[in-house]
Amino acid sequence: MNTSNSEPCLVCGASAKNGLTYQLRDRRMGLAGEWRLATCGACGVISMDPMPSDVQLGDYYSGYAGDVPLDFSLKAGSRWPWLRKLFHHLSGDVDPRDFIKATTGLRVLDYGCGNVGYLADFHARGVDIAGAELSARVVDECQQNGFDVRQVKSFSEIPFSDAEFDIVYLMQVFEHLRDPNLFMEELSRILKPKGLLYLAVPNTDSVWRGVFGRHWVSGWFTPFHLFHYSAPSLARLAGRHGFALINSWSNTPESWFRLNLEARLFPSDNLLDRRSSRLAATPIRIVLMCVLRLAELFIRNRDCLVIKLQKQ
């Protein structure tokens, strides 16, 4: 559908958005309402239109985070990294421990460290790693367990010093941020010259987006995902802030594919994240993994995009 909307694009500044428009419900958390997504004709980024206010976002997230205590113990994937990588090769999971070469002597930031699994693993290997997290509870628990984790109180400022980090990574975080240009400036500020930035986001160029359409809930996740990027659009955005593209790749996690498949099979279900998966039985998951890996031998653009950038 062609539209002409009044809000300028918050990624490239174009005066109006046009092109593909979706009117979507929250299929995963069950929030009431519908939200519109529109495509910028200039940069190609798909975004919420209109963009939610900070107050609205606070309301959306008020019931999002749980209160389950954090688990800092090292799991099998930490003790046997070769086994973890082998499993992820089959499952399609995107795990920064598999591709970020963080060694002792490097300062690393896990922005949006969440359930701390990656943070704890890198820390156990002697990496000088810090975390940033919105949840005060998560920050308190991390600090009580000896981790350098600081609370994000404003998305306009990352709570660390200039040129502090050699590597920064954000796993499924950047698409949640409502001012990507301002945040990219902050990422540039805290990285050292030649520092590396890794972003993992849903990929709007994914073939599976075309297959599932409005049921592509792993990517759309309305209204929590505010922007939707491809590798070219994300590289252009980063380039305006002094980053050069090193490379990019994509995988489709079986869990994402299964979620989208359930959304297609059960179109009236708006609580997909709050109930047990109907397709979670091990034999079904193994079949889905094998089908995905076979299909994606012939597919270049998959669901989860990882882009590696270097500050110039």
Task: Express each pLDDT in 221-249 by its tens digit.
Answer: 999 999 999 999 999 999 999 999 999 99
The answer to whether 292 and 253 have CB atoms below 8 angstroms apart is: no
Q: Is the dihedral of CA 21, 25, 31, 32 positive or negative?
A: positive
Fold (CATH) for 21-311: Rossmann fold (3.40.50)
Nearest to 203 by CA among 76, 80, 306: 306
The answer to whether 7 and 227 have CB atoms below 8 angstroms apart is: no
Cis, peptide link before residue 193, omega less than 30° from 0: no
The residue ranges of the chain whose pLDDT is under 70 are: 1-6, 16, 63, 65-67
Average per-residue pLDDT in the chain? 93
Query: Percent of the chain at pLDDT above 70?
Result: 96
What is this structure's pTM?
0.94
